[in-house]
Structure 1
Amino acid sequence: MSAKFKLPRRTLTRLMVLAPLSAALLSLPAHAQGSYPDRPVTIVVSFAPGGGVDGVARILGTALGKVLKQSVIIENKPGAGGVIGAQHVLRAPADGYTFLLADPAFAVSPSLMNNVPYDILRDFKAVSTVTTSPLVLSVPVKSPMKTVTELQEAGRKAAGGFTYSSAGVGTSPHMSGELFRLRSKGNFVHVPYRGSGPAMADLVAGNIDFSFSTMAAALPFIRDGRLRALALTGPDRVAELPDAVPLAASLPGFDVRFWTTLMARSSTPPEVLTQVNEAMRTALATEEVQQAFKRIGETGTYMPLAKSDAFVQGEWKRWAAVVREAKISIN
């Protein structure tokens, strides 16, 4: 007959004290138990490959991966003016492994659409701005338009309208076109595409009269002589396009910037957001990254967490006013 095994009273007491602590440790999220990140990170792009946002994402992904010492995967989720990509991120766990690389469409869509399935101020938090640049107003090289003034006059006279392409409804090229239409009082007709790549392809082919596009999307076609740059939406000239003049020269006050910002779900742990923001600061400060952005016409721009959030909120307010003035709506 075997004797019963009995723990000493002191050992039993210690086990009773340690049990709740062990349970609490097991309930902690993975990033609190180990070092973040311990697996690949995904950056979602809301547009098709080949456009401006996609180009920025691929440079950022490589640089951020080096700092975080993890692979960074770029995942394209185009459609609905950026809503599909943002919704995809919102459905992912808020654990710091899925981010959105947002552009102005992210701030514009809530004012354009009646049923955007999220609140950008409540559901998302900016981690850091990434890049900024002016947009380029360009025409096919065979177009008779040589100046902005000629384009404005042609738009006012054209009964059927002059078409302009964009990377999608609510994108910065679309909103630039709407501002141009309002200020020029021209008959300009918007033709949206699912990203800068297809929009530029139709412009180069001569199926579209003109376009506002990111520097990254336009420069290759301007450099190889298939497009002609007429103007820039920023207040200054840029070295890459010495012949393009600021639109503000003919339309005073016209100032639109394309920007990208890394966004996370707002419920992502604050310590993870802080760590990624610091990684962004390190990555964007390198000469390698700055030169890579410069080659596609972008400028790297880092901001701390709070300042990045305030920037996105400011863009949302600004474009909401433009949407009201232009009377744009999407059901």
Structure 2
Amino acid sequence: MKLLRRKFLKLAGAVAAIPVLPQLASALDYPTRPVRIIAGFAAGGGVDITARLMGQWLTERLGQSFVIENRPGAGGNIGTEAVVGAVPDGYTLLLATVPNAVNASLYEKLNFNFIRDIAPVAGIIRVPMVILLNPSVPAKTVPEFISYAKANPGKVNMASAGNGSAPHMAGELFKMMAGVNLVHVPYRGQGPALTDLLGGEVQVLFATAPGTTEYIGTGQLRALAVTTAARAEVLPELPTVGDFVPGYETSQWYGICAPRNTPAEIVDKLNKEINAAIADPRMKARFAAIGGEPLPGSPAEFGNLISEETEKWGQVVRAAGIKPE
């Protein structure tokens, strides 16, 4: 009886181990087929460009194609939901960004909980934003602009790339912390907002730095400060908003996430490769060309950033009563 019992327990242990071995092997061999990186915004923007740069690096390093799939709509929610509902095997990834943190509060009903249903993999870059004025505004510094806005409440139009976009939230945070009343004018992307700022239809725009330096250099637009905690490499001559509004800080950030329950071995493998990319001189130069500064760290550190941003923007959304378009 004892001999039979030992044989049974040995057999049972072997059977129980069978499902684990293929999963472990697949994690070690990953990827064995093409991987999708879903970008929840249209081609040509910062999300798309960052995804394609990182996808090219991962393709070269891991020997399988990392294909970018654009699924724009609902402030990034359509693309996010596609990733949340995907099989957690590492073959469907998300290029995450600020609206993912904002949408948790901006939208009353979502079919997912971003923090609960996503596995943070790695941050990629931060992109500073800059306060841009039409030259008709008689202000050359942040304190002068605050004074001007307070003297003209409700008369200064603030453009944005759309409700819940990083530029919009940067402006709303500024309004709250500086105590000014700016009229929000949302556009479908930063390009149209810049066009109307140049034409004087609106007076101020919190813009991501890439694509603005030419207008600043030619004097077509006046730059006051960058929104990051420290001066930005792309515009080193500008002070920070925080120099005049203590505690103010924000940026556009990008990173990679996977569906919840994606094997830790796959998450760690991707994290290692992404961190290698943003440390590589060639890749650093390519990201710097779009104003990106490296955002290295572990999956847990990127998860902490997402949680902090979700809480931060939730407070702004609720205080300002922001609603989706």
TM tier relative to shorter chain: 0.7 to 0.9
What is the aligned partner in structure 1 of residue 61 from structure 2? 67
What is the aligned partner in structure 2 of residue 109 from structure 1? 103
User: In structure 2, which of residues 296, 313, 319 is the aligned counterpart of residue 325 of structure 1?
Assistant: 319
Where 1:245 maps in the other structure, the secondary structure is coil
- 1:246 is the counterpart of 2:237: no
Where 2:150 maps in the other structure, the secondary structure is helix
User: In structure 2, which of residues 90, 94, 98 is the aligned counterpart of residue 100 of structure 1?
Assistant: 94
Across the aligned residues of Structure 1 and Structure 2, the Cα RMSD in angstroms comes to 3.0
- 1:148 is the counterpart of 2:138: no
- Asked whether the equivalents of residues 233 and 247 of structure 1 are also in contact (C-alpha less than 8 Å), the reply is yes
Give ranges in structure 1 of 5+ residues lacking alignment.
1-16
Structure 2 length-normalised TM: 0.83
Q: CA deviation at 1:239?
A: 4.1
What is the aligned partner in structure 1 of residue 203 from structure 2? 209
Where 2:127 maps in the other structure, the secondary structure is strand
- Asked whether the equivalents of residues 51 and 95 of structure 2 are also in contact (C-alpha less than 8 Å), the reply is yes
What is the aligned partner in structure 1 of residue 152 from structure 2? 158
Q: CA deviation at 1:159?
A: 5.6
What is the aligned partner in structure 2 of residue 262 from structure 1? 256
Q: CA deviation at 1:217?
A: 4.3
Identity of aligned residues (%): 36
What is the aligned partner in structure 2 of residue 3 from structure 1? none
Q: Which amino acid aligns with 1:179?
A: L
What is the aligned partner in structure 2 of residue 13 from structure 1? none
Give ranges in structure 2 of 5+ residues lacking alignment.
1-10
What is the aligned partner in structure 2 of residue 87 from structure 1? 81
- Asked whether the equivalents of residues 48 and 197 of structure 1 are also in contact (C-alpha less than 8 Å), the reply is no
Number of aligned residues: 311
Structure 1 residues 77 and 161: CA distance shift in structure 2, 3 A: farther
Where 2:168 maps in the other structure, the secondary structure is helix
What is the aligned partner in structure 1 of residue 34 from structure 2? 40
Where 2:212 maps in the other structure, the secondary structure is helix
Structure 1 length-normalised TM: 0.82
- Asked whether the equivalents of residues 178 and 326 of structure 1 are also in contact (C-alpha less than 8 Å), the reply is yes
- Asked whether the equivalents of residues 225 and 241 of structure 2 are also in contact (C-alpha less than 8 Å), the reply is yes
- Asked whether the equivalents of residues 51 and 197 of structure 1 are also in contact (C-alpha less than 8 Å), the reply is no
Q: CA deviation at 1:290?
A: 1.0
What is the aligned partner in structure 1 of residue 286 from structure 2? 292
Where 2:116 maps in the other structure, the secondary structure is helix
Structure 1 residues 94 and 227: CA distance shift in structure 2, 3 A: farther
Where 1:96 maps in the other structure, the secondary structure is coil
- Asked whether the equivalents of residues 50 and 197 of structure 1 are also in contact (C-alpha less than 8 Å), the reply is no
Q: CA deviation at 1:128?
A: 0.4
Where 2:87 maps in the other structure, the secondary structure is coil
What is the aligned partner in structure 2 of residue 135 from structure 1? 129
Q: CA deviation at 1:203?
A: 3.1
What is the aligned partner in structure 2 of residue 227 from structure 1? 221
Q: Which stretch shifts more, 197-206 or 270-279?
A: 197-206
Q: Which amino acid aligns with 2:88?
A: A
Q: CA deviation at 1:263?
A: 0.9
Structure 1 residues 65 and 216: CA distance shift in structure 2, 3 A: farther
Structure 1 residues 159 and 286: CA distance shift in structure 2, 3 A: closer
- Asked whether the equivalents of residues 139 and 210 of structure 1 are also in contact (C-alpha less than 8 Å), the reply is yes
Q: CA deviation at 1:192?
A: 2.6
Q: CA deviation at 1:249?
A: 2.5
Q: CA deviation at 1:92?
A: 3.2
* Rg comparison, structure with higher value: 1
Structure 1 residues 229 and 282: CA distance shift in structure 2, 3 A: same
Structure 1 residues 75 and 193: CA distance shift in structure 2, 3 A: farther
Q: CA deviation at 1:220?
A: 5.0
Q: Following the alignment from structure 1 to structure 2, what is the Cα–Cα distance between the partners of residues 37 and 157?
A: 59
- Asked whether the equivalents of residues 80 and 168 of structure 1 are also in contact (C-alpha less than 8 Å), the reply is no
Deviations 1:261-280 (A, max 9, x none): 21111132222212211221
Structure 1 residues 130 and 33: CA distance shift in structure 2, 3 A: closer
What is the aligned partner in structure 1 of residue 3 from structure 2? none
Q: Following the alignment from structure 1 to structure 2, what is the Cα–Cα distance between the partners of residues 219 and 70?
A: 36
Q: Following the alignment from structure 2 to structure 1, what is the Cα–Cα distance between the partners of residues 183 and 25?
A: 49
What is the aligned partner in structure 2 of residue 281 from structure 1? 275
Q: CA deviation at 1:138?
A: 1.1
Deviations 1:139-172 (A, max 9, x none): 2456554333343233334365322222332222
